[in-house]
Structure 1
Amino acid sequence: MKNFIQKFQNLAPKSKSTTRPKNDSKSPASTSGTSLDTIPPELLSNILSHLPSKRDIFPLLLTSKRLYHITYPHIWKRLESNIHERSTSSLSHRYRKTGLRRLGDDITDQVYNLNKDDILGFKYLKHIVFWAADLDAGSVWIDSGLFGVVCGQIKAGRMRLRLLEVILERPEQVCHEAREFLSVLKEYSKTWPQKLKIRINIPWSDQFSEFIANNFRLEDITNLRLRSDVDIPSDGVGEDVVEKTIDNIKRLTNLLQRLPSLKILYISGSENRCERVPTLVQPLLSELSQLQDTILGLKRVQSLHIYGPLFHPSFFVTPPENVKKLTFTRCFSWEWWRQFSQCPFSEVEELELYVDTDWIISEWGSPDDIDMRIQGQNFVYRMEHLELKSLKKFKTDRWVRLDFIPEGFFDIVVANNPGLDEESRKNCEIMKE
Structure 2
Amino acid sequence: MASLSTIGSIRELSFEILQYLSPPDIFSLLLTCKLFYPVCYQSLWSTLRLYSKSHISDKGRICYKLARLIKTRGVDNTGVQHIRTILLHRYSLTCTNGFVKSGFIHVLEELLRSGRLGLKHLELRYNSEKEELFSFLGHLREYSQRKQPDEFSMAIIANPIFLEPGIRTQVLHIEKITSLDLEMDWQYKGSDDDERQHAYGAGGLGAWEDSDSDYTGPGDGLDDLDDEEGWPRPASDQPGALDGIRPSNLQMDTSQYNTRLAGILTHLLSQATNLRSLTIRSIRDNGRRYTDFRLSPPLKNLQTTIKNLPKLHTLTIQGKIFHPSFFIAPPDSARVVNYDGVLPNKWVGGFRECSFANVTHLKVKFREDVQERGKGCRDFRKRPVTYVKVSGLLRCDIEGFDTVAPDLGLCILRANRRLDELSKKNLSKDIEHPL
Aligned length: 370
Match of 1:426 in 2: 425
Match of 1:216 in 2: 172
Distance 1:39 1:49, change over 3 A: closer
Match of 1:59 in 2: 28
The residue type equivalent to 2:389 in the other structure is E
Separation of aligned partners in 1, 2:89 and 2:143: 22
SS of the residue corresponding to residue 99 of structure 1 reads: helix
SS of the residue corresponding to residue 338 of structure 1 reads: helix
SS of the residue corresponding to residue 310 of structure 2 reads: coil
Equivalent position to 2:155, from 199, 207, 226? 199
Cα distance, 1:380 vs. partner? Answer: 5.3
User: Is 2:324 the partner of 1:313?
Assistant: yes
Distance 1:380 1:190, change over 3 A: closer
Match of 1:304 in 2: 315
Identity of aligned residues (%): 24
Cα distance, 1:341 vs. partner? Answer: 0.9
Cα distance, 1:277 vs. partner? Answer: 3.2
SS of the residue corresponding to residue 324 of structure 2 reads: coil
User: Is 2:135 the partner of 1:180?
Assistant: yes
Cα distance, 1:384 vs. partner? Answer: 1.7
Deviations 1:62-99 (A, max 9, x none): 45554322322111011123445432xx36xxxx9x63
Equivalent position to 1:123, from 76, 81, 95? 81
Equivalent position to 1:104, from 44, 58, 67? 67
The residue type equivalent to 1:203 in the other structure is N
Match of 2:297 in 1: 286
- Between 1:420-429 and 1:217-226, the stretch displaced more is 420-429
SS of the residue corresponding to residue 57 of structure 1 reads: helix
SS of the residue corresponding to residue 432 of structure 1 reads: coil
Match of 1:257 in 2: 270
Separation of aligned partners in 1, 2:287 and 2:104: 47
The structure with more radius of gyration: 1
Separation of aligned partners in 2, 1:318 and 1:204: 20
Separation of aligned partners in 2, 1:137 and 1:230: 25
User: Is 2:111 the partner of 1:153?
Assistant: yes
Separation of aligned partners in 2, 1:328 and 1:307: 6
1:5-154 correspondence to structure 2 within 5 Å? 32-37=1-6, 39-63=8-32, 65-82=34-51, 83=53, 85-87=55-57, 90=58, 99-110=62-73, 118-154=76-112
Separation of aligned partners in 1, 2:10 and 2:35: 9
Match of 2:128 in 1: 171
Cα distance, 1:184 vs. partner? Answer: 0.8
Distance 1:203 1:183, change over 3 A: same
Distance 1:336 1:139, change over 3 A: same
Distance 1:274 1:148, change over 3 A: closer
Match of 2:279 in 1: 266
User: Is 2:302 the partner of 1:325?
Assistant: no
Contact 2:125 2:156 in 1 (8 A): yes
The residue type equivalent to 1:403 in the other structure is T
SS of the residue corresponding to residue 228 of structure 1 reads: strand
Cα distance, 1:140 vs. partner? Answer: 1.7
Match of 1:381 in 2: 383
Match of 2:364 in 1: 353
Match of 2:350 in 1: 339
Separation of aligned partners in 2, 1:401 and 1:60: 50
Match of 2:243 in 1: none
Separation of aligned partners in 2, 1:294 and 1:276: 28
SS of the residue corresponding to residue 347 of structure 1 reads: coil
Separation of aligned partners in 1, 2:293 and 2:157: 28
Cα distance, 1:234 vs. partner? Answer: 6.7
Cα distance, 1:296 vs. partner? Answer: 1.1
Match of 2:227 in 1: none
Match of 1:412 in 2: 411
Match of 1:403 in 2: 403
Separation of aligned partners in 2, 1:255 and 1:201: 13
User: Is 2:259 the partner of 1:246?
Assistant: yes
Distance 1:147 1:84, change over 3 A: same
Cα distance, 1:301 vs. partner? Answer: 0.5
Distance 1:132 1:363, change over 3 A: closer
Cα distance, 1:407 vs. partner? Answer: 2.7
Contact 2:7 2:14 in 1 (8 A): no
Select the structure with the greater relative contact order (CA < 8 A; seq sep ≥ 6). Answer: 2
The residue type equivalent to 1:253 in the other structure is T
Distance 1:72 1:337, change over 3 A: same
Separation of aligned partners in 2, 1:230 and 1:281: 17
Separation of aligned partners in 2, 1:33 and 1:64: 16
Cα distance, 1:49 vs. partner? Answer: 4.3
Cα distance, 1:270 vs. partner? Answer: 7.2
The residue type equivalent to 1:402 in the other structure is D
Separation of aligned partners in 2, 1:382 and 1:396: 15
Contact 2:290 2:375 in 1 (8 A): no
Cα distance, 1:183 vs. partner? Answer: 1.0
Distance 1:356 1:64, change over 3 A: closer
Deviations 1:150-206 (A, max 9, x none): 2222222211211111124x423x461x3322211211232246521101111243x
The residue type equivalent to 1:127 in the other structure is T
Distance 1:45 1:159, change over 3 A: farther
Deviations 1:353-407 (A, max 9, x none): 1113537658987xxxxx5xxx9xxx7522222111122222233xx37232x13
Distance 1:351 1:74, change over 3 A: same
Distance 1:274 1:70, change over 3 A: closer
Contact 2:50 2:86 in 1 (8 A): no
